[in-house]
């Protein structure tokens, strides 16, 4: 605060403070309080809202663990409530998407930060941004076309002899979520790439050369020098990719099959199809709790503070 006052003066600092407070209160705190309050109220006709039946309870949350069915979780037969299975599948496959985006992003981020010619760097970054010029809906439709039975992917793979006959990728080859994970990785990989790039770029190249001069192998240099320095960027990328993947609705709806329900689709079904906004609010609050747990888990794994992730 003192630094802001010295740099911008009382008037501008006060404006920043009021705008930040308004953003937090109107767009973050009040909507979430409303969501939490609605999640404990029953779904009633308009004429009965505020009446004797309109009392707080945990009934909306109990629906999350009600009506167990026989199903599969990671190809393991289980008997669990269908919404609990959907929630766990969303968590598991969002974690897989996060891990795959890290594997794809880290080498590219290192190349951009430490190997690429500085003169060609703006062009490379511009090329990476080109997919973002198209809306997420159009990108999902593009992947839908690519993965269809008569799409270009099957045409290429059967043409070169890798596949004997076309595959229905939307139904899944390894899991029912294959097409969804492909779409999510493509959609959110840049949210992992650029935080890691920013962290690696701030590393002094002399430290890398010192490790190499001392005889460290390339993987030891990455493991002992570069990865520890890039931890805040990796943590920030993991949080963003996981939250965006778990909260995605368009990609799972477009690329998923009848066997690949995503948790956001359950929320949409409660709110829009069943018009039960109270149960939808309860499920939405469970998603918020999941995001909070993920942030705390990432902070614990990478030994970073919340301020490091927010950078």
**Torsions phi, psi of 20, nearest 5?**
-65, -45
Burial class (CB in 10 A: 0-12, 13-18, 19+), 48: exposed
Among 230, 200, 229, which Cα is nearest to 112's? 200
How is residue 60 written in tokens?
């909306």
What length is written for the chain?
Answer: 311
Total-model pTM: 0.86
**Residue 309 clears pLDDT 70, i.e. is over it:** no
Give me the percent of the chain exceeding a pLDDT of 70.
97
**Torsions phi, psi of 149, nearest 5?**
-60, -40
Instruction: Give the model confidence (pLDDT) of 195-249 as tens digits.
Output: 999 999 888 888 888 988 888 898 899 999 999 999 989 999 998 999 999 988 8
Chain centroid, CA 6 distance in Å: 39
Rounded to an integer, what distance in angstroms lies between the CA atom of residue 263 and that of residue 272? 14
Instruction: Give the model confidence (pLDDT) of 251-299 as tens digits.
Output: 888 888 877 889 999 899 888 888 888 999 999 988 888 888 888 888 8
**Residue 9 clears pLDDT 90, i.e. is over it:** no
Least trusted range by pLDDT, from 63-72, 262-271, 279-288, 302-311 = 302-311
Four-residue CA torsion sign, 162, 164, 169, 171:
negative
pLDDT band for 10, please (50, 70, 90 cuts): confident
pLDDT band for 99, please (50, 70, 90 cuts): very high
């Amino acid at each position: 605060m003192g630094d802001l006052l010295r740099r911008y003066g009382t008037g501008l600092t006060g404006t920043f403070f009021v705008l930040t407070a308004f953003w937090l209160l109107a767009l973050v705190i009040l909507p979430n309080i409303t969501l939490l309050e609605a999640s404990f109220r029953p779904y009633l006709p308009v004429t009965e809202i505020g009446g004797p039946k309109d009392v707080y309870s945990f009934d909306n949350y109990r629906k999350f663990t009600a009506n167990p069915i026989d199903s599969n979780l990671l190809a393991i037969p289980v008997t669990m409530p269908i919404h609990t299975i959907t929630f766990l599948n969303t968590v598991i496959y969002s974690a897989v998407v996060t891990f795959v985006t890290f594997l794809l992003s880290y080498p590219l981020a290192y190349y951009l930060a430490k190997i690429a010619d500085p003169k060609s760097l703006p062009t490379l970054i511009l090329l990476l941004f080109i997919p973002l010029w198209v809306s997420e809906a159009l990108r999902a439709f593009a992947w839908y076309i690519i993965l269809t039975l008569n799409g270009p992917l099957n045409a290429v793979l059967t043409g070169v002899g890798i596949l004997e006959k076309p595959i229905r990728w939307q139904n899944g080859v390894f899991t029912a979520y294959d097409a969804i994970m492909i779409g999510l990785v493509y959609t959110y990989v840049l949210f992992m790439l650029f935080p890691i790039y920013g962290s690696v770029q701030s590393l002094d190249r002399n430290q890398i050369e010192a490790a190499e001069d001392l005889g460290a192998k390339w993987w030891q240099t990455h493991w002992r020098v570069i990865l520890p320095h890039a931890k805040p960027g990796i943590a920030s990328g993991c949080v963003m990719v996981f939250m965006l993947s778990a909260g995605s609705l368009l990609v799972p709806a477009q690329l998923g099959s009848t066997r690949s329900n995503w948790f956001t689709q359950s929320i949409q079904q409660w709110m829009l199809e069943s018009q039960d906004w109270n149960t939808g609010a309860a499920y939405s609050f469970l998603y918020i709790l999941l995001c909070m747990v993920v942030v705390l888990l990432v902070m614990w794994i990478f030994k970073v503070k919340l301020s490091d992730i927010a950078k």
